[in-house]
Amino acid sequence: MSRKYVVVDLETTGNTHDRGDRIIQFSAVVIENLQIVDQYTTFINPGIPIPPFIEELTGIHDGMVQDAPEFKDVATKINTLLQDAIFVAHNVIFDLRFLRNELEKEGYENIGLDSIDTVEFAKILFPTASSYKLSELAELLQLEHENPHQADSDALVTAELLLILIERTRSLPLITLEKLSDMAYSLKSDLYIIFQSILKEKRKNIENLQEDLEVFRGIALKKKMIPQKIHDERSLSYPISIEDKMDLLSHTKNFKLRTGQMEMMDIVYQSFLNNKIAVIEAGTGTGKTLGYLLPSLYFAITQKQPLIISTYTIQMQDQIFNEIVRLKEMIPFPFQTSTLKGRSNYINMLKFEQSLYDKDLHYDTVITKMQLLVWLVHTETGDMDELNVSSGGKLYKQRVKHDGWFFQKEKDPWLSHDFYMYARNLASCADLVITNHSMLLVDTEKDQNILPDYHYVVIDEAHNLEKAASNCFGKKLEYNGLKFWIGRLGTLDKNHIFNKLEKLLEKKGLSPSLHPFELEQLIIQLEMEIDDLFNMLGKKIVQQYERKSNKTTKQQLRITESMISDRKWLPIIICAERVYDYFRTISKELEQRLMLLKQENKNIADREQAFLAEMNSFFKDWLKIGEKIYQLLLKPSNEYVFWLEGDIRAIPNSIGIYAQPVNPGNELFNRFFNQKKSVVMTSATLTVNHSFDYFLKELGLPKEVVTEKVISSPFDYQKMVKLMIPSDLPEVRGTVNDEYIEAISSHIISLADATDGRMLVLFTSYDMLRKTYQLIKDSNALEDFILLAQGITGGSRTRLTRNFQQFNKSILFGTSSFWEGVDIPGEDLLCLVIVRLPFSPPDEPITAAKYELIKNNGKNPFSEFALPEAVIRFKQGFGRLIRTESDRGVVIVLDRRIETTSYGKNFINSIPNISIERGPLNNILSSIEKWL
């Protein structure tokens, strides 16, 4: 490991050297003998102005570089520095290419350097990191990072990161390192140099395996410990009085007495004791997670009943685990918790082991295999959701997912180390089992029974249960998905499942009734029919687009009974029948081949067994696709709403056909509530105008069987929030026109100046978000601000939120998913703008179908569904602003319907009691400045 590394970071005026972008700062950290020995940093005069975005990002402005040397003045020094070194950077392709271009311009040709990319290295060694951005890795590893996006700070942190990655590589077992070294030749940077030299070093010394690891069939993994079910013989009793609860809780850090939390504990406990259904709306700051965990735990242990806790988001799951850590500090008896997910979330070790022998040099597959090898040394769960893999890596994960056993499971050599079985064993010993809504609902399907037998459950984030049920009981068929499955099956000339299956049959001397060439023709024919079918469906989308005056390229088209009975729909049905027939014939042939091989189970090698497990998993998914073709196109149920969705710029690729129950409450009641003794549901947003009626109706629950409770937030909202409604905006009527968007944009610009950014702007439609963002950007009125927009500036919701928090003068434009679950506490968010009241568009397929159903029952769709749904969404949006008791800010509603309509008061009555200011924008701006 005595090589010299030079870790480089550049700040530039932009990403493209060929278009005239130049370096403004260069820094290089020299590492010798795994020690940082030197750092050279210089500003560089680029000879062009630094763009405002780069200035905001890096903090480097024209004044800082005007007296700096030009690149030609430092080129010799930089070239000398790089001699005989391995070039290292975080995203090495960018830095190395940019620097090469600059050096070549100064006459330094053919700079051939071995290079290491710390992004690639970190992906392998930290396979579960949520992000591989330098600032986030620095946070994860607690590295001091004083000036992110300045070359000196970035280069130093990258050098420290490199040393940590090398050290972490050294700590890996020899057997893992041998496999990684073999694969490293397929990577994009020259990481094989590091892997090989550490491997050489390790082979010189006899190594003892760490105590918590074992090697099984050539793979190092963490040992599994099955805990014994704890039987605490002491008589335990639930702490009924406030004093008893205080005795328990006051031992923990940051404990605050919250009477609402104590009240919630009693309601939860009594509901379980009396076999009741309860709904509890617990305002922000109540401490609801502990409010249900503590009574759930006492009930589970005293009644010797496993208790399920279900939530909707991973973020909430993390919060539950943090509270469980606190519970362990305060509870005077031992208890066990576990997490359980669907089988396909877990890795199938036989498939993974055998896939290591494949000579697949596809980059995404190789790096994902390397990530998995490192992960297996650390994971206790085998839950592949822990991994952060590329989209190509997700395809590989499909291959190695667990999906049951083709032969008797006893034939699986990995059975004693099987992660899914381990998770089931842990769950059977646990007092509390944590899961998610979709898993909870999948478990209600026949032949599933993934969760241990249970009768008591807490549903957190319960406002999402109906949505989870719609998705779980719903069905979808997408063109790209179908092409993916046919691609996985393949034809005889491709080394995919079909080809491998035929080779195995031939090897075993087995002859199915249909010749391989005939089956191949069926597969080819099926693919052609699918293309025809989705092209026809695409034409329906295009026709709708042409009819609409409000032209957005993404279209939804509801499939109604009258549409299906029209003769113009007949060619689609005839084509769908052909697709279904081919599907069925191919399914029968695949099943016959699998059965022939199953009878051969005595002389099947491990390699063949792993392939058959993969084939069996594929076959199960293939059968489900056939069912969906039948249910979506040939035998649609009148209890479901059906629609097409697609983008007219990408037909047939973007086309999908979807179905969801119009009223999932019926199914929920029969399959779930009716089967349980007690269910407690909680969330911060369940009531409309202090009533649970809408929520209960959506879930199909009769009011008389439910205990209802609203626990108000302990926060003093009067002192924390002001609601402001500008009066000088056009009224919202029907479609949104350019004049309305101009008015909204100019208000947002003025508000941004008054609040100095730190503003979240919530839209109800992506089209309106895009137009507003574009108008503000083109106006250059907010040149000093960082504008981040969902679906435009790139990145996931989490990444956009993090970027928003990173800059002072930032504005985040969000729609749909930003109305809930986004947590931006403190001064990072001071202003929340709600552009329109969040009514669902009445022509959305599900909304339209619900309207029809309500009308047919003689009721008013607006008051029964549209209004309460919008109020709950509004409450969720409002809840983004105040997350902790020290937060302050303003909420601005740019939709005058909140005060000019009779229903507007429903929105105001459903949020905490706060002061409201109405008036022209100028008055509001001066109020905001005073208030903040």
**Contact (Cβ atoms closer than 8 angstroms) between residue 772 and residue 744:** yes
User: Residue 446: what pLDDT?
Assistant: 67
3-class SS at 789?
Answer: strand
- Provide the token pair at 762: 């919530």
All residue ranges of the chain with pLDDT < 70 are 1, 110, 229-234, 446-449, 549-550, 733-736
- Contacts of residue 543, defined as CB under 8 A and 6 or more positions apart, other chains included, come to none
User: Residue 125: what pLDDT?
Assistant: 97
Strands (E), 223-351: 277-282, 307-311, 337-339
Q: Which contacts (CB < 8 Å, 24+ apart) does range 926-930 have?
A: 927/722, 927/724, 928/724, 928/751, 928/754, 928/755, 928/831, 928/890, 929/754
- Provide the token pair at 881: 């602003």
Same fold, 242-336+676-711 and 717-931: yes
Q: Write the DSSP symbol of residue 691.
A: B
3-class SS at 622?
Answer: helix
Residue ranges at the known binding site for ATP = 282-289
- Provide the token pair at 208: 């003892």
- Provide the token pair at 428: 């059977």
Strands (E), 319-390: 337-339
Q: Dihedrals φ, ψ of 346, to 5°?
A: -95, 155
Closest of 879, 555, 538 to residue 717, by C-alpha? 879
Q: How many whole angstroms separate alpha carbon 103 and alpha carbon 618?
A: 52
- Provide the token pair at 820: 């809930």
Q: How many whole angstroms separate alpha carbon 411 and alpha carbon 408?
A: 6
Q: How many whole angstroms separate alpha carbon 43 and alpha carbon 150?
A: 10
- Distance between alpha carbon 644 and the CA centroid of its chain, in Å? 25
Q: How many whole angstroms separate alpha carbon 811 and alpha carbon 104?
A: 40
Q: How many whole angstroms separate alpha carbon 262 and alpha carbon 850?
A: 39
Cβ atoms < 10 Å from Cβ of 363:
14
Q: How many residues does the chain have?
A: 932
- Provide the token pair at 883: 């997350």
Bin 116: left if φ > 0, else alpha if -120 < ψ < 50, else beta.
Answer: beta
**Contact (Cβ atoms closer than 8 angstroms) between residue 455 and residue 612:** no
Rg (CA), the chain: 30
- Contacts of residue 338, defined as CB under 8 A and 6 or more positions apart, other chains included, come to 423, 426, 427, 429, 430, 432, 433, 434
CA distances from 601 to 402, 406, 461, 475, 595 (A): 20, 10, 47, 36, 10
Q: What is the 3-state secondary structure (H, E, C) of 807-875?
A: CCCEEEEECHHHHCCCCCCHHHCCEEEECCCCCCCCCCHHHHHHHHHHHHCCCCHHHHHHHHHHHHHHH
**Contact (Cβ atoms closer than 8 angstroms) between residue 285 and residue 714:** yes
- Provide the token pair at 447: 């032949």
Q: How many whole angstroms separate alpha carbon 389 and alpha carbon 391?
A: 7
Q: How many whole angstroms separate alpha carbon 768 and alpha carbon 745?
A: 11
**In terms of CATH architecture, what is 242-336+676-711?**
3-Layer(aba) Sandwich (3.40)
3-class SS at 674?
Answer: helix
**Contact (Cβ atoms closer than 8 angstroms) between residue 458 and residue 310:** yes
Q: How many whole angstroms separate alpha carbon 22 and alpha carbon 651?
A: 41
The DSSP bridge pattern shows strands 889-893 and 831-834 to be parallel
**Contact (Cβ atoms closer than 8 angstroms) between residue 558 and residue 643:** yes
Q: How many whole angstroms separate alpha carbon 758 and alpha carbon 809?
A: 6
Bin 320: left if φ > 0, else alpha if -120 < ψ < 50, else beta.
Answer: alpha
State the DSSP H helix or E strand holding residue 221, giving kind and residue range, or none if neither: strand 219-222
Residue ranges at the known binding site = 282-289
Q: How many whole angstroms separate alpha carbon 450 and alpha carbon 342?
A: 7
> How is domain 717-931 classified at the CATH fold level?
Rossmann fold (3.40.50)
Amino acid at 550: N
Q: How many whole angstroms separate alpha carbon 305 and alpha carbon 453?
A: 9
Q: How many whole angstroms separate alpha carbon 53 and alpha carbon 50?
A: 8
State the residue for tokens 């799951």. Answer: 317
Q: Write the DSSP symbol of residue 731.
A: P
CA distances from 278 to 93, 266, 267, 269 (A): 57, 12, 8, 10
**Contact (Cβ atoms closer than 8 angstroms) between residue 299 and residue 448:** no
Closest of 93, 124, 84, 81 to residue 189, by C-alpha? 93
Closest of 761, 731, 729, 738 to residue 748, by C-alpha? 761
Positive or negative CA dihedral for 421, 424, 429, 432? positive
How many CA atoms within 13 Å lie on the side-chain side of 925?
14
Peptide bond into 334 cis (omega under 30): no
Q: How many whole angstroms separate alpha carbon 761 and alpha carbon 829?
A: 11
- Provide the token pair at 842: 């009445």
Q: How many whole angstroms separate alpha carbon 138 and alpha carbon 166?
A: 16
Domain ranges of the chain: 5-171, 242-336+676-711, 475-661, 717-931
State the DSSP H helix or E strand holding residue 317, giving kind and residue range, or none if neither: helix 314-330
**Contact (Cβ atoms closer than 8 angstroms) between residue 865 and residue 697:** no
Closest of 88, 149, 96, 99 to residue 122, by C-alpha? 88
CA dihedral 712→713→719→721, nearest 10 degrees, is -100
Q: Write the DSSP symbol of residue 495.
A: S
- Contacts of residue 778, defined as CB under 8 A and 6 or more positions apart, other chains included, come to none
Direct distance between the N- and C-terminal alpha carbons of the chain, in angstroms, rounded to an integer: 56
Q: Give this prediction's pTM.
A: 0.83
State the residue for tokens 């009240």. Answer: 263
CATH node for 5-171: 3.30.420.10
Q: Dihedrals φ, ψ of 332, to 5°?
A: -85, 20
The DSSP bridge pattern shows strands 640-647 and 656-661 to be antiparallel
Closest of 419, 472, 425, 422 to residue 452, by C-alpha? 425
Cβ atoms < 10 Å from Cβ of 416:
10
Closest of 400, 399, 363, 395 to residue 382, by C-alpha? 400
User: Residue 231: what pLDDT?
Assistant: 61
